[in-house]
Structure 1
Amino acid sequence: MALTSIVVGCDLSSSSDLALERAIALAEMHKARIVLVNAQANDAPIAEVDNKMLAQLGEVSAAVRVEEARQLADRLVLIQARGVATEIVSRVGPADDILIAAAAEFAAELIVLGSHGLTGISRLLLGSVAAGTIRSSTCDVLVCRGPSTRAAFQRPLVATDFSEASTKALQHAARICSPGAPMDVIHAWQLPAGSWGATLLGQARFPWSTVRDAVLAGARSQADKLLAEHGKIGNPLNIELVQGPSATVITHAAEKNGHDLIAVGAHGHRGVRRLLLGSVAESTIRHSPCSVLDVHGEHQHAK
């Protein structure tokens, strides 16, 4: 499953440069094209402003456009010096809409974005562009965090609920990781709703441990099946079953074990077409200490 086109959001910030570095590494690995997308603000006239002020604003806007063009050209030279085919898309309008339109126009399999959330409370500040792109994209979205590096990922963590969406997350994570990189797969399990009441009745009247054992046995069976079906993707797999809320389990494991990538399926068993606020995937992206690959349904341009 090689990548052929990668759309990269470029707002000329250090965060988008981090995303660009990662995208260049992936493009080199797959011999893919990069589509560098810059969304420009709409400089519509402001109501109730005199002509002198409008003229000054126009001069500032023109100077900004010149500087943006210069910086985009600098990045184009940087990418092409690596031998990577590159297109530039610079349009006026909402950034998430332009990114999604460019992905469709160039049949991209992946959109790469930067994130300003690095540590602590700033992790919660998932930008509106990233959130809008994640919710509406029909291709995978990679939100980059962590140190700047021009390399494929080395320490991936794939979240699974054993659904078709999480199976795609495993497959799609493998293509942006170094060949042969070990892949940790984690499944967060919880007791069925209402099981807590069994403790009030007591072990003698309601052996709640049998429910726990049954849940774990089912999870282990699915884990064994996953290993049997996907153990030959080219990357060694290790599956861990951990009790707790999904997003908490996933982000804690990534932080504790030093993972540089978390891969999640956008929909899991919820069956919704778009990622909803508060879902496991979005919560993981908000709290993750590292980059997150949000895997959507089958790429709409795939043949």
Structure 2
Amino acid sequence: MHVLVPIDNSEPARAAIEHAVTTFPNADITALHVVNPSMSAYRTDTHFNFERLVELEEERAEALFETAREIADEHGHEASLTTETVVGEPIRDIVEFADENDVDQIVIGSHGRSGVSRVLLGSVAEQVVRRASMPVTVVR
């Protein structure tokens, strides 16, 4: 079994990793971080070129993956946890990655954003549930 866990820097994403490793102890688990350069631009006060912006986000992703590995290791699951980073639009790229990589189950945190950005952008988890061809578990 192959389980995909999209992650960001949120508590629900950490809960999703923990849920995946405890619920699917024999599965191959992929932690996926989608770097969305358009959203990254809103978080910075200075102007970077596109490549530098992506590089900074990939560095942040490595910290997220380290946390995911620690959670998996706590549950004896580190050996079957792999990590992937893609640059693009989260909803589309999560669903596309799942389709192209024979994913059997997606486990996703209920939300990664809060406040105004969540209202404006809608819920990534909700859209993944609507668009994915495989079962999706939403974790709070």
Provide the TM-score with structure 1 as the length reference. Answer: 0.39
Whole-Å Cα distance in 1 between the matches of residues 16 and 70 of structure 2?
17
Which of 124, 132, 135 aligns to 1:288? It is 132
Whole-Å Cα distance in 1 between the matches of residues 60 and 128 of structure 2?
24
Aligned length: 131
Does structure 1 residue 172 correspond to structure 2 residue 19? Answer: yes
Query: In structure 2, what is the equivalent of residue 213 of structure 1?
Result: 55
Does structure 1 residue 185 correspond to structure 2 residue 39? Answer: no
Whole-Å Cα distance in 2 between the matches of residues 207 and 267 of structure 1?
28
Structure 1's unaligned 5+ residue stretches are 1-153, 199-205, 297-303
Whole-Å Cα distance in 1 between the matches of residues 108 and 115 of structure 2?
14
Which of 97, 117, 127 aligns to 1:253? It is 97
Higher relative contact order (CA 8 A, sep 6+): 2
Query: In structure 1, what is the equivalent of residue 73 of structure 2?
Result: 231
Could you tell me whether the CA contact under 8 Å between 2:8 and 2:64 is conserved in 1? no
Residue identity opposite 1:157 in structure 2: L
State percent identity of aligned pairs: 30
CA RMSD of aligned residues (A): 2.7
Query: In structure 2, what is the equivalent of residue 101 of structure 1?
Result: none
Q: Aligned runs of 1:1-303 on 2, under 5 Å?
A: 154-177=1-24, 179-191=25-37, 192-193=40-41, 207-235=49-77, 236-270=80-114, 278-296=122-140
Provide the TM-score with structure 2 as the length reference. Answer: 0.79
More helix by share: 2
Larger radius of gyration: 1
Q: Deviations over 1:70-100 (max 9, x none)?
A: xxxxxxxxxxxxxxxxxxxxxxxxxxxxxxx
